[in-house]
Each structure stands twice: as C-alpha cells, then as structure tokens.
Chain A
C-alpha cells in the first residue's frame, strides 16, 4: 500500500517504493523502503557514514547512516559496500537519512576473496560513475545484483566483469557495434571463419571493417575470435560462452577494447582497475622472503 505524507507528491505520476509516513513535529519527513545495494561509503564526522545506494525503486541515491561506524550499530553491516538489503530512507530537505535496514545478502564469500572483490568493485565503480542520481532503472539494478552473485561463484570472474560492462553499456545506450562496421555499417560476415584481426575504434563506436581502418585514429586491435567472445557474452546464453576457447590474448584484447571504449565514450576513468592490475602483478611476482 502506498501512503503519501507529502500532499505535493500526490500529483507525481509515479509512486516508487513503499512510501510511508513517520510521526514528526513538522510532518515533513517521508520514509521509503527500497531494495538496494551499497555501492560505496565514506565516513562522516566521528560516528556516521554516507552510503551510496543503487536501489531498484529510485536508482542511485546517497543517504546518511547515523552511528554506522559504531560496532553495535544495526546499520554497521548494512552500510558496507557490496551489500544487498532493504533500506528505509527518510527524506529530509537535503541528504536522505538511512533509518533502518534488513540484510538480504552480505555477499560474505565475495568479500573473503580479494580478486573476486576487486572485480566486483570495478563493476560497482563503473556503475556509480555512469548512472545519474535518482534515475530508476530496474534493469540496471537486476544486472548489478545478478552480477554480484556471479562474481561470487563464476570460475572466471574477469568474464563476469566484461559481460557486466557490455550489458551496462547496452542499458545506457552505448553498446559497441560488434557485428557490423561502426563507420560504414557493412556487415562483418562469418567472423568465426576469419582468422585475421580487426580494429576496434572507440571513436566510431565499435569494430571497423578493413576499408574503414584508415579513418580511425585511436584503436585497439582485436582478433575475430575476441569479437566472437564479446558477441557470445552479449547473447545472454552462458553455454555460448562456455563452448568457446578463451586465451589470455582474447582476455587482454577485450579488457583493452572495453576500457578504452568506456574512457572515450563515457569519459570515465576507473580507480579500482589500478588495484586489480596490482593484484594480478603481485600474483605473478611473489615477494621473495630474502632479498
């Protein structure tokens, strides 16, 4: 049931979330309970946190979690990044206040595995930096939630991140062109029979055919097989991906192509990828106990 305490809000075309009213002296506090995922948090003052949530009902929003840094606070666990729960937010004049929450999934196993957590953090940062405030998109919420489960269990978390990037780009209306030339629109037929490589151009928005290659300035070389993997990732069929052999070279090409595309098209520089690179480097260069 939906109850509005704000008379002005009655005229709003959509009522999102369970909206209730809370007794308050000026009768202006309105609370909403939403399904949300914590994207990030930062400390506020001595005891509080500001959490950025991505909610199914209202999209991205920030709220103050009062007392959340005190160990006994019920909001302490709720305000941790990569946590899914039901969040009740009271909306004041400025920033909302997180009044209560119930945990749905703390993604405990994800947080016990540094590499998986690093991949999930890249996804969360990309989302945080590309979606506008308070712009509800249930598709994006569902994508994030499903991806967090995948990051937790998938044998290749890097592919989960690539798949997340492609799907998010699609939902934001920036999907790279993979089956046609992004400049002249001619179809790139029979990719799998083609042994050669193509150029992936962030500038034109995807793959470019041989004739158009000379027009692109900055681009990433990708093999036909890498394009095929990206197409399979987009198909939504996990078996289509599992059937393919994916080499480290394919992984690297996808990583480069998508990261340059995201930088160029969305003007986003991710900080989390530095840590991911560092972690990878560390695992290939263990510290010797004696110098």
Chain B
C-alpha cells in the first residue's frame, strides 16, 4: 500500500527506533492520527526538548538537564562512595532499589575489544580523575555480569590499584525466587565466590 507522503516519512523515522518494526510503526502512526492534534504537538515538542535540553552531567556523565545532574547536586548523597555503571538506565535500576545513598559514575558503555570499543571510548579517564581528587573512599563496580562487563570491571580495578580506595564489585548471585538446581554453573560458581559469613 502506498501511503501519503507525510505518513510514509513518519513510518520511516519510527522504524529507526530500537525495537520498532514496520508493524509497530504503523500502529504508532495510526494512533497519532486518531488522537486530537495537540497530542502530536505535545509529543513532537517533548522529543525536541529532550534532545535540546538533556546533556551529560559534567561530573558523573549521567543524563542531566543542567551542568550537574540532581544526584550530583544533592548534598545528602555520600560523596565518598562511587557506584560505576555502564549506562544511565543501570543507574536508574540501582536508584530504584532505594538502598544506595552514594554517587555514581556512568561509563557510557562496556569495553568490547572485538568490536573495537576500548578504554578511550568510555568515560574511564574522568573516573580516574575523580578518584585522584581524593574525596572517594570506595568505588563499587556495577557493570553487567557479562564478558564485556567483567572485562570493564577488571580493567578499572587494575587502573585503581595504586590509589588508596576500596574497590568492590557487586556480588553475583542466584536469582531471587529460583531453585538452586536450575541455575547454570557460571552463576553458581560466582555465587560461591561472593558467599558471606553468617
């Protein structure tokens, strides 16, 4: 079917979004057309505003509306503790637990030598700089439990070795609510490594 040109253009743009195929793009386009016109205006304004106003926090490299993100501005956060994550959405996942009161550092990716993603493609230098400034006593590495995530954590841990900071990595354990005998051997091996005294 041949769409009128504006719809065809909208579909083309929507299909560039992650996880949106031709079917979903069509559904979204029809939805936009069925809603009152101010819906489309509000949506497009929100897209434009987000793109224009959001940038990297100059300290932690998370998403921010101003120079510093709300967490970096918050005096009640523990400035001596840094939790290192790969992406802003990982920061949100830790934040949503409500248990961590320290600050963050967002690397904006993981190391992946086979894809040519090296240390200079990540925000590793500014992390070392933050540690060098001296107010930090613990760095918690919360990268993904994947080969790339582990490589990133190992690399950063090695860089931080000369510094007087405690470097820890999140415990890798068994998924809550699962049976032990269903877990794979890597998960069990890592849960053993991360066992604690009771």
Contact = CB atoms under 8 A, between A and B. Distances in A.
A256 interface: no
B147 A80 contact: yes
A106 B186 contact: yes
Interface stretch (A12-20, A190-198, A268-276): A268-276
Contacts of A178: none
Contact of B163 (A46, A111, A128, A289): A289
Contacts of A71: 145, 175
B76 to A, nearest CB: 29
B151 interface: yes
A114 B154 contact: yes
A290 B18 contact: no
Interface residues of A, number: 40
A76, A113, A276 pick with most chain B CB within 10 angstroms? A76
Contact of A81 (B147, B178, B185): B147
Nearest to A81: B147
Given A114-B158, A289-B132, A40 B146 contact: no
A155 interface: no
Nearest to A273: B113
Nearest to B163: A289
A45 B113 CA distance: 22
A105 to B, nearest CB: 9
Interface in B113-168: 113-116, 118-119, 128, 132, 145-147, 150-151, 154-155, 158-159, 161-164
A287 B184 contact: no
Contacts of B145: 71
Contacts of A112: 150, 154
B4 interface: no
Contact of A271 (B19, B113, B128, B158): B113
A250 B161 CA distance: 31
Given A77-B186, A114-B155, A286-B162, A278 B19 contact: no
Nearest to A79: B146
B26 interface: no
Contact of A111 (B119, B147, B178): B147
Contact of A287 (B18, B19, B159, B164): B159
Contacts of B116: 271, 274
Given A82-B147, A103-B184, A114-B155, A271 B175 contact: no
Given A108-B189, A287-B162, A46 B19 contact: yes
A278 B189 contact: no
A157 B127 CA distance: 30
B111 interface: yes
Interface in B81-119: 111, 113-116, 118-119
Most buried by A among B147, B155, B164, B187: B147
A144 interface: no
A229 interface: no
A179 to B, nearest CB: 34
A278 B150 CA distance: 17
Contacts of A289: 132, 162-164
A114 B147 CA distance: 10
A288 B162 contact: yes
Interface stretch (A55-63, A118-126, A202-210, A230-238): A118-126
Contacts of B18: 45-46
A189 interface: no
B116 to A, nearest CB: 4
Contacts of A124: 114
B155, B184, B187 interface centre (most CB from chain A within 10 Å): B184
B151 A45 contact: no
A289 B163 CA distance: 5
A135 to B, nearest CB: 21
B186 A40 contact: no
Nearest to A114: B154
A55 B145 CA distance: 25
Given A45-B19, A81-B114, 17 more contacts: A40-B114, A81-B147, A82-B147, A106-B189, A114-B151, A114-B155, A271-B113, A271-B114, A272-B114, A274-B116, A275-B118, A278-B118, A278-B119, A286-B162, A287-B162, A289-B163, A290-B132
8 contacts: A81-B147, A103-B185, A106-B186, A106-B189, A272-B114, A275-B118, A282-B158, A282-B159
